[in-house]
Every structure is written in C-alpha cells, then in structure tokens.
C-alpha cells in the first residue's frame, strides 16, 4: 500500500511540473500610470570616469519621439576637462514600464549622431524614436563665498534672498573683496575692486550658459539670530574631495596622524610628520600655502578654539618635553603656551582638543594612546585655562574610574573631549572595537552610553547596525559652544575601507550632557551623514598605513556660523559642512 501511495504522489508531482513548464507567461499590465520611458541615463565607457554617470534625461512627456540627453560641458563640473572626447562611445540605459520595449536594445551609442529605434509601448503600439545627446553649459550661478580683504570679514550668504551680510562695525565705504562662485560662472563688477558696502552694493553672477543670472546685494549688516543653537535646516555641504588629488596631501599608503584646525578664513591641516601645516580656504578648500610655524614642532596634532586661536603640539615620548604653542594667525609665528616633561610611560600629543577661548576660559585635553603590543591606555591630560592662564594640568585615569580604555594610536586610540570650558560637564569619548559613545560625569562615573550597533529590528536604522564587526574607528571627536548651546561632533572613520560601511558623521546637542539612544538615532542628534556612500572614497586600502582621521567644530568669530570638518586619511576623504543661527 505504501508503495502504491508513493507512485500516486510522484505521478501528481510530475503532472504538476509538466503543466507548469507548458504554461505560457501572462501579459503583465502596466503598474504605473505614466509614460513608458521615464528616464535615459548616459555612462562613460572609457577614461578616468568609466562607468560613472555622464548625463541624465528625466522624461515627463509620454508622446516624445526625440530624446536629447544633456551632457555637461565639463566633467567634473569644477574642472576644465571637456566631455567632447567621450560623446561618441556612451552607454545608455533606459527606465521602462513593464511590457515596453526599445528595439534594437540600447548598448553603446554615438551621442553626436541621431540614433533611431522602434519603441513599443505597453499596449503594443509602435513608433520610431530618436536618442541623441547634447553638451550643455552649466546653469549654476551661485555665490559660494564672499569675504573682505581688509578688514577680514566673511560674508553671511542668504541664497534664498540673494543677500550677503557683512558683520562688522568698521567703515566699509572703500573695501576690496574676494568671491567664490559656481564653476565657470562669472561675477560683475569685479569684487577685487574697491566698493562701498556701507549702503550696499549689487553683484551679478552669470552662469556658464550665459543666460542664467542671479543678483546678490552685499551690505554691512547684523542679521537677527535665533535664540538657541543652530538652525538644522541651514546645513550645507561645503566640499568633499580626495585629499591627495584634490589638496595635495599624502595618499592612504603614507603613514600619518592627521589633525585640523580653523583660523579666521582658513582650514589648517597637519599631517603629524613634522612637516609644516598647510592652510586652505575653509569654504572651498583652495590651497593657500603653509603657515608660519616659527619654532613650533608640529610632530603631534593641532586644534583650534572658539575664537580663532590655533594650538600646535609636539609628540613627546617618556621623559621628553611636551609643548603646546598657540597663534592667532597663519602668518604669525606661534608662541609657547605651556611646557612640561612627560613622565608617563606612554607617548603624548597624538590627539589634542580644546573647547572655549584660550584667552579667557578653556579646557585642553591631550590623550595618551596605548603602545602596540605592550599596553592599552585610559589616561588623558586635562588642562584648564582661566583668564588666559593655565590654572591646572592634571592626569585623569578613566580605566581606574570605570574600566574605559583604548589601544595604540592613531587608529585604535581615541580622543577625550571636555563637555564645557569650565571642566564641570564631564568628558566624552568613543573607541575602536567597543563602539560605544560615552559621557563620563565630572566624577568619572558613566552618565550615558550610546551603542553604535543596532538591534536588527526593522525600525532600527541603519538595518543590522552601524558599526558591525569593528570595521570602523569611531574615535574622532570635538566639542564646542555655539549660540547658548554646546555641541559634540563624532566622525567615524574606516578601519577596513574595503568593507562596509563607509565614513559617518554625527553632531549632537550636549547642552543637557547625556546622549540617549543609539549613536545613529539619538534624540540629541541635530545633524548626521550616517553613510557617505553618495560620496567618493577610497574603498580598497587594505595595504595602507594611514588608518587615522579627525573632525572639528569651528564657530565663526562673529558667532553666526558653525563649521564641521572631517578627514578620513585611510578612505581618502576630506570635507566640510556649515550651519548657522540666522533667524529667517
């Protein structure tokens, strides 16, 4: 009986399979009420940008029969490299509704020619279409930055209103300026000539297409601020680029300990190898030169406070003299701020941070990294400045207090940052492998602990957790006060850039000190770029030497702007954002 039942079962299965294999696919009705072709995208097929998007045509007219894909005149847009050589061999892909067909199939086209195809829509109706391309000049006409030469004043640009506010009490009846505008655009009149900004002056920025224009009214002004913190909606990306090809900094295979600071209009970058720090326009990252280093030794790191003072320190081994210098200008030789002998059996100077104003009240923290193959560390220096004078310089042991510790620098170490310029709000830190952002109270007990990994639930973004498998270095932090609030920046650089995820940037409001929730979805988050997959970065640096990074918060001296900069040396990514507190 059992054998008979098995034969019957096998017969039924075979019959079902036979019926299924002979079944003809059903006609699938269109799933959206829109045109059959929604977009055409062109890709480079050779050269340095192979497989990158070259141009895109979004289609809204369902009855079009001639499709012209706009190709930018230059690529990248900020370069002078024209796209003409690439136009004859372009891969084109179409987004089609179900049951819509382009025949012959799209492959590599010459977009200087008119390419004819037969298009069949979802109802079976056929018509001839033409696909071609056209190089077009940019219509962008933005004023990106505007600054007076003397007095040195950065303009506050309101793009929506087309205004630029110059925050100063100086007479601006005869003043010269510099301006940064959209690539290949022009500005008129020339801002380098003297103009009267007391009553206001109008500039016209004309796009490269020669047609699109935008007027900007520049005037001495004091815009109204919001009562507290930054306006989250004001966040704007300033730049993001490869530091080697874009800024002339070392590639990822070069061992480095990168750090940054901001002075006035400049972003300063230090490599930590003893070479003189370089400085760049902080808005567009144009190289300006090297700072006046004087007798300072930039073998350690640099940092900047909230009032345009740059700190520079050396790297001191046991029994070496550790020094911190300061300068108010990229052209002024630094002066010695303090000096002492490093009596610890750990190096000092790889990580230095400051919050406050070193000419009034500030806290400088300098972290001791561990030593590879020898020991971890839980020590850092806390240097308190009051009325411009050092009033305390103490070693704090987080390991003895609560078990928190870190490894050797720069990648497996961390930096400890103060919660306020008065040493009364405790400390913040996060280290490789443990991946928890801690707030330690002033008594060194743990006030809050925000994990970096998710719980894997559907609503817990990013899915599966942000810091899986220790692939990242969540050890780049900075704190600053701004417009009655206190902020913490955390930049997560990559330890293994060939693996997921990419770099991540988070900014928290720490006015209440505690950071609740997880790193990537805390209620205290005011700004974040959780995965920088939309930005280019080095993704195969397994044989590199430079697993290090840095981030800084930099309030402008006028109190209107808060700048955020990040640098991932291993991933070869450096960039910045700006936020403001202007009432709109």
Digit-coded pLDDT (tens) for 37-70? 999 999 999 998 898 899 999 998 988 999 999 9
Number of domains present in the structure of the chain: 3
pTM for the whole structure: 0.76
Structure tokens at 131: 């696909």
The verdict on residue 17 lying in a domain is no
Give SS3 for 508: strand
Q: Please say which residue of 136, 162, 182 terminates a domain.
A: 136
**By the 8 A CB rule, do 537 and 531 touch?**
no
Residue 14 binned pLDDT confidence (cut-offs 50, 70, 90): very low
Sheet holding 335-341, edge to edge: 302-304, 310-313, 321-327, 335-341
The answer on 441 and 534 residing in a single domain is yes
The verdict on residue 16 lying in a domain is no
**At residue 463, does pLDDT exceed 70?**
no
The verdict on residue 27 lying in a domain is no
The verdict on residue 503 lying in a domain is yes
Residue 29 binned pLDDT confidence (cut-offs 50, 70, 90): very low
The answer on 572 and 454 residing in a single domain is yes
The verdict on residue 260 lying in a domain is no
Give the domain range for residue 170. 143-220
- Which tops the pLDDT comparison, 464 or 203? 203
User: What distance lies between CA 274 and its chain's CA centroid?
Assistant: 26
Q: Please say which residue of 90, 109, 136 terminates a domain.
A: 136
The answer on 275 and 215 residing in a single domain is no
**According to the model, what pLDDT value does residue 13 have?**
39
Q: Please say which residue of 197, 220, 243 terminates a domain.
A: 220
In angstroms and rounded to an integer, the radius of gyration of the C-alpha atoms of the chain is: 29
Instruction: Residue 203: give its domain's CATH number.
Output: 2.60.40.2340
The verdict on residue 530 lying in a domain is yes
The verdict on residue 100 lying in a domain is yes
The answer on 149 and 121 residing in a single domain is no
The answer on 202 and 301 residing in a single domain is no
The verdict on residue 286 lying in a domain is yes
User: In this predicted structure, which of 41-45, 119-123, 224-228, 408-412 has the lowest mean pLDDT?
Assistant: 408-412
Q: For residue range 471-513, what is the model confidence (pLDDT) as tens digits?
A: 788 999 999 999 999 999 999 988 777 666 678 999 999 999 9
Q: Which of 40-54, 289-303, 522-536 has the highest mean pLDDT?
A: 289-303
Instruction: Residue 277: give its domain's CATH number.
Output: 2.130.10
**By the 8 A CB rule, do 322 and 352 touch?**
no
The answer on 412 and 347 residing in a single domain is yes
**At residue 5, does pLDDT exceed 80?**
no
The answer on 398 and 286 residing in a single domain is yes
The answer on 108 and 155 residing in a single domain is no
Overall average pLDDT of the 300-323 stretch: 97
Residue 409 binned pLDDT confidence (cut-offs 50, 70, 90): confident
Percent of the chain with pLDDT over 90: 66
The answer on 559 and 410 residing in a single domain is yes
């Amino acid at each position: 009986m059992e054998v008979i039942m098995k034969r019957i079962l096998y017969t039924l299965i075979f019959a079902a399979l036979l019926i299924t294999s002979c079944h003809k696919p059903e006609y699938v009705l269109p799933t959206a009420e829109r045109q059959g072709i929604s977009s055409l995208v062109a890709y480079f097929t050779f050269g340095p940008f192979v497989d990158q998007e070259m141009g895109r045509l979004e289609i809204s007219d369902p009855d079009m029969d001639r499709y012209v894909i706009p190709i930018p005149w230059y690529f990248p847009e900020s370069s002078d490299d024209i796209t003409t050589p690439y136009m004859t061999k372009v891969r084109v892909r179409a987004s089609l509704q179900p049951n819509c067909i382009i025949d012959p199939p799209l492959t590599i086209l010459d977009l200087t020619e008119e390419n004819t195809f037969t298009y069949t829509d979802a109802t079976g109706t056929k018509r001839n279409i033409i696909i071609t391309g056209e190089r077009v000049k940019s219509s962008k006409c933005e004023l990106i930055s505007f600054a007076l030469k003397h007095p040195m004043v950065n303009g506050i640009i309101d793009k929506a209103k087309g205004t630029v506010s110059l925050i100063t009490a100086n007479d601006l009846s005869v003043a010269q300026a510099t301006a940064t505008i959209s690539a290949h655009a022009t500005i008129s009149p020339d801002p380098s000539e003297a103009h009267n900004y007391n009553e206001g002056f109008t500039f016209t920025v004309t796009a490269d297409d020669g047609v699109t224009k935008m007027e900007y009214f520049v005037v001495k002004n004091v815009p109204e601020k919001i009562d507290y913190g930054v306006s989250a909606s004001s966040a704007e990306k300033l730049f993001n680029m490869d530091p080697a090809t874009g800024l002339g900094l070392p590639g990822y295979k070069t061992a480095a300990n990168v750090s940054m600071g901001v002075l006035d209009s400049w972003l300063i970058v230090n490599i930590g190898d003893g070479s003189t720090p370089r400085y760049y326009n902080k808005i567009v990252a144009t190289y300006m030169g090297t700072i006046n280093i004087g007798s300072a030794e930039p073998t350690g790191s640099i940092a900047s406070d909230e009032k345009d003072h740059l700190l520079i320190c050396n790297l001191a081994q046991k029994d070496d003299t550790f020094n911190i210098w300061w300068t108010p200008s990229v052209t002024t030789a630094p002066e010695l701020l303090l000096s002492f002998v490093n009596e610890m059996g750990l190096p000092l100077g790889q990580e230095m941070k400051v919050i406050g104003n070193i000419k009034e009240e500030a806290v400088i923290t300098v972290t001791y990294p561990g030593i590879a193959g020898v020991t971890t560390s839980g020590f850092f220096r806390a240097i308190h400045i009051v009325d411009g004078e050092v009033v305390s310089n103490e070693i704090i042991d987080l390991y003895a207090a609560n078990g928190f510790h870190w490894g050797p620098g720069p990648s497996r170490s961390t930096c400890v940052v103060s919660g306020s310029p008065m040493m009364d709000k405790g400390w913040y830190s996060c280290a490789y492998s443990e991946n928890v952002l801690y707030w330690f109270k002033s008594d060194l007990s743990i006030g809050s602990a925000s994990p970096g990994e998710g719980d894997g639930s559907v609503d817990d973004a990013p899915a599966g957790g942000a810091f899986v498998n220790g692939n990242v270095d969540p050890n780049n932090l900075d704190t600053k006060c701004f417009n009655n609030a206190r902020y913490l920046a955390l930049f997560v650089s990559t330890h293994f850039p060939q693996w997921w995820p990419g770099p991540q940037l988070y900014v928290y409001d720490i006015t209440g000190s505690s950071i609740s929730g997880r790193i990537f979805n805390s209620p205290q988050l005011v700004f974040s770029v959780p995965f920088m997959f939309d930005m280019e970065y080095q993704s195969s640096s397994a044989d590199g030497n430079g697993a290090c990074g840095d981030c800084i918060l930099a309030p402008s001296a006028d109190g209107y702007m808060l700048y955020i900069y990040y640098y991932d040396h291993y991933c070869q990514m450096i960039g910045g954002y700006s936020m403001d507190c202007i009432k709109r």
